Amino acid sequence: MAKLWGGRFKNETDYDAFNFNASLSFDKRLIKEDIEGSIAHSRMLMKCGIIPEEDALSIIEGLQGILIDVENGDLKISPEYEDVHSFVESVLTDRIGEAGKRLHTGRSRNDQVALDMKLYIRNKILSVDSKIFLLEKALFEIIRDNTETFMPGFTHLQKAQPVSLSHHMGAYFEMFIRDRRRLKDIYEGADECPLGSGALAGTTYPLDREFTAKELGFSGGPTRNSMDSVSDRDYLIEFLSALSIIMMHLSRFSEEIIIWNSNEYGFVEIDDRFSTGSSIMPQKKNPDIAELVRGKTGRVYGALMSLLTTMKGLPLAYDKDMQEDKEMAFDAIDTVSDCLKLFTGMVSSMSFNKDIMENSAKRGFTNATDAADYLVKKGMPFRDAHSVIGALVLKCISENRALDDLSPEEWKEGSELFDEDIYDAVSLKTCVENRVTFGAPGSESMKKNIEFYEKYLNEGTLGGEV
């Protein structure tokens, strides 16, 4: 049981208590951030003359060597250490001797882990942002190429009005724009460095916290209150909240793909690479990836609720409860990352049965509102027009026909105002094209949106990728 403390204790820690208290099994994934923070701290200690330059340089070289060896697999993180901090410091001291014991000068594990988590989460925000960006690029291709692919739009899962596939996919594109905007806000909100806050009340050493913050890429400088610095997990709660919303969007999208993939709809065909079969039913091709994305949403929600519950009753400043901020957060981040990657592959490879989609819009009377609007433009009050078209829809339902199938005589039975131009008025192309308000599925509106989406994608990711 390798620990960084124990001088005031008479007895050894109970073995089970040590394991219960230890966090190395999960916080070992913070080793890169831990070493990065320790190198910056050592440079600051050297700059301020707090430790000898020779020792600081030896520490920095030793830390760099540890990270290289861990990443290469030449150094295993063994379980006898309490946490990643004790592992790094113990290995460092074994390698460079007494100088390694100076590393922790002016620092506590409280501000150390606060820094590690903030660095880690900032990196993961960039990673998730990049994955959403790739999904947006896949969606953009569908949007750009399907402005005249007509389909029913739904309310209450009932066919409502005709839209284009381009417009429907655009709705999800907008959701992911908002997701990335939230990530940007969280990244910028986590732009202050907690290192140098000590256990809770700073330190008597003349630390240069501005220097450390700059070394670590925090443009917002050091945090302003040392007690808040070591007990703040708002940025992590915000990130888990953003991840939960991302999963909610993916889950809604998955639900539609699952429905569209069913035999009853047949709107889409999911590629074999993202489908599975049945062990007993030879004919089955199941949308398991979409179903798993939908199912894993609850897992990410659980991480958010867990951390909110953990933090709700904690007094200032640091409490060991806060160690519970990691395992489920790590799991949530991994889950969202995997879901985004697989979902993007599924969406970019699935095919659309355009004829089935268009026919579904016709048979679903999605052009009924446009037929009523036709009568309104001829002078009939809308409420009367609504009633006339409702009666014609009822007739078509009883005869298993679409409005487009009615003869000129049958239209006139509804109202003498109908003329031959009614067929053009209720064609899906006309119905969609006539929706000219900004944000509607008409071609002019969609052209503006496509230009906006293209410009937006050209701006790249938070990390600068395009």
Residue 27, C-beta contacts closer than 8 angstroms, at least 6 positions apart: 83, 84, 113, 116, 326
In the set 58, 197, 278, 348, the catalytic residue is 278
> How far is it, in rounded angstroms, from Cα 161 to Cα 366?
4
For the chain, the three-class secondary structure string (H helix, E strand, C coil) is CECCCCCCCCCCCCHHHHHHHCCHHHHHHHHHHHHHHHHHHHHHHHHCCCCCHHHHHHHHHHHHHHHHHHHHCCCCCCCCECCHHHHHHHHHHHHHHHHHHHCCCCCCHHHHHHHHHHHHHHHHHHHHHHHHHHHHHHHHHHHHHCCCCEEEEEECCEEEEEEEHHHHHHHHHHHHHHHHHHHHHHHHHCCCECCCCCCCCCCCCCCCHHHHHHHCCCCCCECCCHHHHHHCCHHHHHHHHHHHHHHHHHHHHHHHHHHHHCCCCCCEECCHHHCECCCCCCCCCECHHHHHHHHHHHHHHHHHHHHHHHHCCCCCCCCHHHHHHCHHHHHHHHHHHHHHHHHHHHHHHCEECHHHHHHHHHHCCCCHHHHHHHHHHCCCCHHHHHHHHHHHHHHHHHHCCCHHHCCHHHHHHHCCCCCCCHHHHCCHHHHHHCCCCCCCCCHHHHHHHHHHHHHHHHCCCCCCCC
254 carries an active-site annotation: no
Following CA atoms 23, 26, 28, 32 in sequence, which dihedral angle do they give, to the nearest 10 degrees?
-120
407 carries an active-site annotation: no
CA 367 from chain center: how many Å? Answer: 36
Length of the chain: 466
228 closest CA partner among 326, 305, 322: 322
Preceding amide of 402 cis, omega within 30 = no
In the set 156, 279, 398, 407, the catalytic residue is 156
Residue bearing tokens 């949530």: 332
CA distances from 309 to 121, 237, 244 (A): 20, 11, 16
Q: Tell me the β-bridge partners of 269.
A: 351
Q: Which residues are part of the catalytic machinery?
A: 156, 278
